[in-house]
Chains A and B, each alone.
Chain A
């Protein structure tokens, strides 16, 4: 058992979720040895308010996401000095994430203090002025660094001066704050990799009487009350986890008293509670939220001690059920203990144990999973069933920064995978099986339609990923535009389903040399030889179009990419060097490499013509 001070502080913060435990974790994380195997995350905070009480909680969130925090804190209200000079300490810090924390009042005192003195046209002008300032800050940061930026919108902190009348007005205080936030979102969207931390939403959830601390606003320009610090820090944590591929991907659910009220084996199909009336309505709402997660690309599966036939009957025949068999990527319904069942499910679905969330109503089962599978995040069904739906959303466990078409399709793909396994069972040799699948691939360079998905794949892929480099949309766009690098994406479909964009390679060129910066593939495309195809394509491209005579590849071990440790030697590369934390592999290019014969390949016309 690891009992380093950092591990102890992490456990305490996870268990307690208090400001004190978070502060202690921030202290421990700052002291953790820099030479350790924990990756560093450099965060720059630019602000026009006192964020010091919030900062330890943000550092704790960084540590909870598995990184060692290093923080650059811009001077109070000196954003301009930091963003207008390319040599500023802010740019020299080379942040991996930029947090811009702005409070409205210093930017537009009249708007907050004397709104009533403004004519409608003046209100619009004041909003324009704030948006102008914010846009300039964002543009200057973006011009000097490519790191993702998280900027907040503005919360409501008081009742409007005009009381009930305000909400009737086209340019009242209520209207102008919403309009301002809409325009801030527009300004953010105008630049790559700028995201909004929704302070308006957080303050609405907590109520401004809880979230806004007038005392310390007046005394020290510190507007956030003690109840707001952890929720705000958690939002930044959710951004970090989404950007760094640490968000949860799969939700495994118990059935009795989790999906419905009662026990199907005892109460029967008619006896369980699900539907319009309490308590069935709590379960129905929960199931609706499960479907929302499903549509966002979260993988749903069941793990229940039950007779499989009983559960299947509920899923297919109960008229009030929202969740149906087709929403599920898999299930283990039997009388075995649940840890083994979850292990098997995770294996079948080809995902990491730490991307799993498990929901059960039994404290015994929850404790069992916590002990046996500590990487799994567990959620206990609350005693008060009306809170059941919200446990899925509270912590933003599944938060991602985009919902791509692939996300919407993902569960359908797992269902197709089940059907594919049937084909596999009936086919003879592996190659015969692959031929029967009728695989078709398309290889291209990402255009605007693909960039979000390509960036997302670099952020989320952990297992088949040679270097585990994470890229933002802006990074990908630059790599595509740069003549010294190429980005390749591969789409794959077979006769059962369209798997979508599943693999990415990034290659950088210098004199006669091509270097494979990234090579990664979604787990759901494993076992079809798509990686052979992508590698062959990039080698041929390097030889024939870039005049490269030699290609270098690197394997950088990470927590979950063991399976590709021997990828390069298997592909005919030879060991070229070993460094701490990586091995380097090389291959001399002389002749064209042939593509796997079981995949029909198309390369878009634009790609071919430019050859």
Chain B
């Protein structure tokens, strides 16, 4: 697996307290109970921390699923 994919899965796993293997395309606020509005803020900070990027306001709202986070990170030049 792509190292960035592993890293992103670990970020979500750490934050939402789930196994990294369970993180996939269906991972979103609909399937993860701990993904609420407060934790969404922590998620943005955790992603920025792990990938050393700064998300725009629009991007920070957009990242509402695992595939969408990947898409936003790709805009920052992170390869998946």
Name the interface residues of A14-38: CB closer than 8 Å to any CB of B: 18-21, 23-24, 27
Whether, in the assembled complex, A268 has its beta carbon less than 8 Å from a beta carbon of chain B, the answer is: no
User: Complex: how many Å from CA A554 to CA B11?
Assistant: 47
Contact of B49 among A50, A220, A222, A226 (CB under 8 A): A226
Whether, in the assembled complex, B65 has its beta carbon less than 8 Å from a beta carbon of chain A, the answer is: no
The reply to whether B57 and A215 contact each other, CB–CB distance below 8 Å, is yes
The reply to whether B14 and A23 contact each other, CB–CB distance below 8 Å, is yes
Q: 1/0 per position for B27-51, CB-CB distance to A under 8 A?
A: 0000000000111011011101110
The reply to whether B45 and A226 contact each other, CB–CB distance below 8 Å, is yes
CB distance from A20 to the nearest CB of B (A): 4
Known: A27-B14, A215-B57. A20 touches B38 (CB 8 A): no
The reply to whether B48 and A226 contact each other, CB–CB distance below 8 Å, is yes
Most B CB atoms within 10 A — which of A19, A213, A219? A19
Q: Across the interface, name the chain B residue whose C-beta is closest to A225.
A: B45
Contacts of A213 on B, CB cut-off 8 Å?
45
Contact of B14 among A20, A52, A216, A220 (CB under 8 A): A20
Whether, in the assembled complex, B60 has its beta carbon less than 8 Å from a beta carbon of chain A, the answer is: yes
Whether, in the assembled complex, A229 has its beta carbon less than 8 Å from a beta carbon of chain B, the answer is: yes
Which DSSP category, helix, strand, loop or mixed, fits chain A's interface?
helix
Interface range, B side: 10 to 19
Interface range, A side: 20 to 34
User: Complex: how many Å from CA A26 to CA B39?
Assistant: 14
Q: Across the interface, name the chain A residue whose C-beta is closest to B13.
A: A24
User: Complex: how many Å from CA A29 to CA B51?
Assistant: 26
User: Complex: how many Å from CA A222 to CA B48?
Assistant: 15
Contacts of B5 on A, CB cut-off 8 Å?
none
Nearest 5 interchain pairs by C-beta? A226-B45, A20-B14, A24-B14, A226-B49, A27-B17
**Which B residues contact A (CB, under 8 angstroms)?**
10-11, 13-15, 17, 37-39, 41-42, 44-46, 48-50, 57, 60
**Which A residues contact B (CB, under 8 angstroms)?**
18-21, 23-24, 27, 50, 52-53, 56, 213, 215-216, 219-220, 222, 225-227, 229
8 extra A-B contacts, CB within 8 A, seeds A50-B38, A216-B45: A20-B10, A24-B13, A52-B41, A52-B42, A216-B44, A219-B41, A222-B41, A225-B45
Q: Provide 18 A-B residue pairs closer than 8 Å at the C-beta atoms, listed in order of the A residue.
A: A18-B50, A19-B49, A19-B50, A23-B46, A27-B14, A27-B17, A50-B38, A52-B39, A52-B42, A53-B41, A53-B42, A215-B60, A219-B41, A219-B57, A220-B38, A226-B45, A226-B46, A226-B49
